[in-house]
Chains A and B, each alone.
With several copies, the nearest count.
Chain A
Amino acid sequence: MTQLAEKPNPISEKKVMTLAAALTDGMDIALERDEKVVMYGEDVGVMGGVFRVTTGLQGKHGKHRVFDTPLTEEGILGTAVGMCAVGWKPVVELQFGGFLYAGLDQVISHVSRYRYRSRGRWNTPMVIRFPYGGGLNLLEQHHDSPETYLTHTPGIKVVFPTTPYDAKGLMLAAIEDPDPVVIFENIKLYRSVKEEVPTGYYTVPLGKARKVMDGSDVTLITWGAMVTQCEAAAKAALEAGISCDVLDLRTLVPLDLEAILESVEKTGRVVIVHEANLTSGFGGEIAALIAEKALFSLEAPILRVAGFDTMHSPFNPINHFHRPEPAYIADAIRKVLEA
């Protein structure tokens, strides 16, 4: 069985939504369509989450479908495993990506392995979602980008929506997917991007990258809020006559390797951009795959623009040096062209 195909909804009306609103809308529809879907976490009920992404869902669907729980990430993730064994489809929220760590054992040792361990008797078709990423000057651990801990953990799918359309379609696809899926919701993008989104049901398939800009000189590969940064850098480059292929991966697992290789074969020059710290970041995996599968297309070293190997800087006045800015990406573009 392969990935679900895209299910567009051509007849649906459209409405302008932020990324946050699109996520909410997707969850709302999922609660409507499948009575097995339940949502829980810290503050997701009455308050609708610290970023208000579950706003209105408890009121509309009831406390038995959307509810607050004791404050424990290992509890939230561990009970979700048990909930699946009784046939529920939990969509759980962690308050920030930096609090995934507190429940990471349940993800690595159980969410990821339960199906393999029971040879298909017990599946874990849950969705784990959380805000992540820098740029808002919140507290420490509120800006982490912990995707590598998940991409290295077998059996987990990893999703990064960057547009409202994708956010809703990927949310619905993630909830429908029979495997555990983690959705990284970028805190900067929650309310900074807006677009028309169909009000009805549709899905965006897991495993298909989105071509943000089409170009032939350099390939920019990225995900999450760095898509915006890459787009800015690519636009600036375009003014200087350099055209970039900008790939929004949308999902890291499954990875759209085909789209990556196709672009690399075209441009021969690659810059990979992510917010997480550099070493052992998912950028390394992508570079390794390119160095294995498209080596002879490369005309320049593969460069990565990423966070430093420290925790995400809590130093507000200077943390823009830590988080990749368009200028740093532009510099990398220049370097791969000069190589």
Chain B
Amino acid sequence: MAEMFQILAPDGTVNKPELVPAFDKIEAMYRQMVRTRYLDDRFMVLAKKNQMGTYAQFGGQEASQVGSVMALQPGDYIAPMYRSTGACIAYGWDLHLVIMYWRGHPEGWRIPPHLNMLPIIIDIAAQFPHAAGVAMGLKMAGKKNVVMSWIGEGGTSQGDFHAGVNWAAATESPAIFVIENNGWAISVPRAVQSKADFLMRRAEGYGIPGYLVDGNDLLAVHHIASKAAEHARAGNGASLIEQITYRMRPHTTGDDPKAYRTDAETQDWIDNRDPIDRIRKFLILEKQWDAEREVALKTEVEKEFAEALEKADTYTKPDPAALLEYAMVNPAPHLIEQQQVLADRIRMVK
């Protein structure tokens, strides 16, 4: 039996005091967790009101996403999937762009030049070979940077999971592969995906370090992610991390989890293993946080969201020309002809 790495017990008490980082760092991460949780829930409200398209919530996985992505440094890359919105926000993605992305606004799809963020991947596991390529490229360029990518436990059954991790491992490239094991792949439980007790067992078959981490323990997640990042930065290659967490929300906008899991199971995680509660309890126990600051943070985040929403709402309407932009750098003649077709269609609909 592998042991699950933990620094904080679910009640917020410390297991491994020697591994607790500086409080300002913890506070920064805690703030991101509260912020992303709030945003995630607001986004779902927008989606339900058809003010966003289909949206995949990450609620419950804040420690897992914030704790890992905040182990990165400037110049590092991330290769996110559809559920990584929390990681992307903590990484620095502009909020109004996040909203616009999930609205299907072309300018939301434009990845800002200040972020080494690869596009959000819907095609499960395909981001792992991309991440392996980034890692190999960084190594070849002699850069001291790393790449981090995330996948669900369901995604570990895909061929691309294997091709990507093995490639980075074999080429000793600086990649951190994070499995966010949230128990469910839509309606399919973890057990269907693999007979292995833990998915980080795969690491040995790639000859790289593997870690089993309590994914709802911010400090544990951050500690291991930092360790893997250092390992990579020092030229020692890739790591595979399994973070045990839970999707406290439906799969996406349209999903009703009652069809496949008990409310009791979900409620148990919400009541007893919420990642935000755990770190908040710790901070309060350590007298680093209090109700007043909590209220201030909430207000700040609400304001931030309101502003971002306003910005998104009032953004220039999508220009239909976007449909044919970025199809090719040197557009082939048929694309130029289709610009005319598009112009005609716009005229027809008007």
Chain A–chain B contact at Cβ < 8 A: yes
Binding site for B on A (CB under 8 A): 1-4, 38, 42-43, 45-48, 50, 64, 68-75, 77-88, 98-99, 101-102, 105-106, 109-110, 114-123, 125, 137-142, 154-155, 157, 177-179, 206-207, 253-255, 257, 278-279, 308-310, 313-322, 325, 327-328, 331
CB contacts (< 8 Å) of B187 on chain A: these are: 43, 45-47, 68
Which residue of chain A is the closest to B149 with respect to CB atoms? A82
Assembled-state Cα–Cα distance A101/B320 (Å):
28
* Contact, CB under 8 Å: A85 / B164: no
Residues of B within 8 A of A105 (CB): 123, 126, 160
For the complex, is B183 an interface residue (Cβ under 8 Å from A)?
Answer: no
A325-B320 in contact given A72-B167, A75-B157, A83-B134 (Cβ < 8 Å): no
Q: Distance in Å from the Cβ of A127 to the closest Cβ of chain B?
A: 14
What are the residues of chain A within 8 A of B209 when measuring CB–CB? none
A38 touches B140 (CB 8 A): yes
Q: Is the CB of A322 within 8 A of B323?
A: yes
**In the complex, what residue of chain B is closest to A308 when comparing beta carbons?**
B338
| Inter-subunit contact B110/A120 (CB<8 Å) | yes
Query: Considering the chains assembled together, what is the distance between the CA atoms of A73 and B318 in angstroms?
Result: 35
Contact B157 A118 (CB under 8 A): no
Question: What's the minimum C-beta distance from B153 to chain A, rounded to whole angstroms?
Answer: 9
Interface size in chain B (residues, C-beta < 8 A): 85
- CB-defined contacts of A74 to chain B, threshold 8 Å: 129, 158-160, 163
Contacts of A125 in B (CB 8 A): 329
* Contact status B186-A82, CB under 8 Å: no
A-B contact count (CB 8 A): 289
A319 to B141: give the CA distance in the assembly, Å: 40
In the complex, the answer to whether B322 meets A122 with C-beta atoms within 8 Å is no
The smallest beta-carbon distance between B235 and chain A, in angstroms, is 15
Contact of A318 among B132, B143, B323, B335 (CB under 8 A): B323
Question: Contacting chain A: which of B5-13, B16-24, B31-39, B342-350?
Answer: B342-350
Q: Give Cα distance in the complex from A79 to B166, angstroms.
A: 12
| Given known A82-B133, A106-B129, contact A279–B334 (CB-CB < 8 A) | yes
Identity of the chain B residue whose Cβ is nearest the Cβ of A117 in the assembled complex: B119
- B260 in the interface (beta carbon within 8 A): yes
Complex contacts, B147 vs chain A, CB 8 Å: 82
Chain A binder among B101-109, B269-277, B285-293 = B101-109
The answer for the CA separation of A321 and B348 in the assembled complex, in Å, is: 10
Structural contact, A321 and B320, CB atoms closer than 8 A? yes
Taking A1-B330, A82-B131, A142-B122 as contacts, is the C-beta distance between A46 and B259 under 8 angstroms?
yes
Whole-angstrom distance from the CB of A28 to the nearest CB of chain B?
19
In the assembled complex, the CB of A38 is this many whole angstroms from the nearest CB of chain B, namely 7
| Interface flag for B194 (CB, 8 Å) | yes
A79 pairs with B132, CB closer than 8 A: yes
- Indicate if the CB atoms of A139 and B54 lie closer than 8 Å: yes
Query: Is B188 touching A321 in the complex (CB atoms < 8 A)?
Result: no
Q: Which of B159, B260, B329 interacts with A115 by CB under 8 Å?
A: B329
In-complex Cβ contact of A71 among B122, B155, B331 (8 A)? B155
Contact across chains for B155 and A317 when beta carbons are under 8 A apart = no
Contact A71 B185 (CB under 8 A): yes
Which residues from chain B contact A84 at a C-beta distance below 8 Å?
133
Contact among B104, B138, B345 with A317 in the assembled complex (CB-CB below 8 Å) = B104
In this complex, which of B53, B132, B325, B329 has the most chain A Cβ atoms within 10 angstroms of its Cβ? Answer: B329
CB distance B106 to A72 under 8 Å?
no
Contact with A along B309-350 (1 / 0, CB 8 A): 000000001111011111111111111001001101110110
Q: Is B118's CB within 8 Å of the partner chain A?
A: yes
Contacts of A139 in B (CB 8 A): 53-54, 82, 122
